[in-house]
């Protein structure tokens, strides 16, 4: 049985965040994606301090789906290097854990856009 993970990512605006969330859930790559409120991200990029408003994404899925989720984020995201951090889930409410496993199967057809 595949372990649960949480993938942290972001999008430059709410429209793209909703699109990424929709595609990941519809394609059964993730059970659920939470979109947080836009917030300011500060980071160094190509030697310059940058600041941009971004919408955080919290993606609940299984370890088996990680590569496919990251590939899909890369396909849909405009950034050259989109954020994708995979965090292990060490426990949880068992009915929810079971539900995530049931949903994140990757069995939905296609990667159509």
Q: What is the CATH number of the domain that holds 59?
A: 3.30.70.120
pLDDT digits (tens, 9 = 90+) for 14-64: 999 999 999 999 999 999 999 999 999 999 999 999 999 999 999 999 999
Compute the distance between CA of residue 73 and CA of residue 95 in angstroms, rounded to an integer: 28
Domain membership of residue 109 (yes or no) is no
Domain of residue 37 covers 4-103
Domain membership of residue 108 (yes or no) is no
Q: Is 22 helix (H, G, I), strand (E, B) or coil?
A: helix
Query: How many domains, the chain?
Result: 1
Domain membership of residue 20 (yes or no) is yes
pLDDT digits (tens, 9 = 90+) for 69-101: 999 999 999 999 999 999 999 999 999 999 999
Give the global pTM: 0.92
């Amino acid at each position: 049985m595949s372990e649960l993970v949480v993938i942290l990512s972001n999008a430059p605006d709410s429209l793209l965040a909703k699109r990424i969330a929709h595609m990941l859930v519809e394609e059964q790559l993730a059970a659920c994606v939470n979109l947080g409120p836009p917030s300011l991200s500060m980071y160094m990029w190509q030697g310059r301090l940058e600041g941009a408003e971004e919408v955080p994404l919290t993606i609940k899925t299984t370890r088996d789906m990680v590569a496919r989720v990251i590939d899909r984020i890369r396909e849909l995201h405009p950034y050259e290097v989109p954020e994708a951090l995979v965090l292990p889930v060490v426990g949880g409410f068992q009915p929810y854990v079971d539900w995530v496993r049931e949903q994140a199967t990757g069995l939905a057809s296609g990667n159509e856009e």
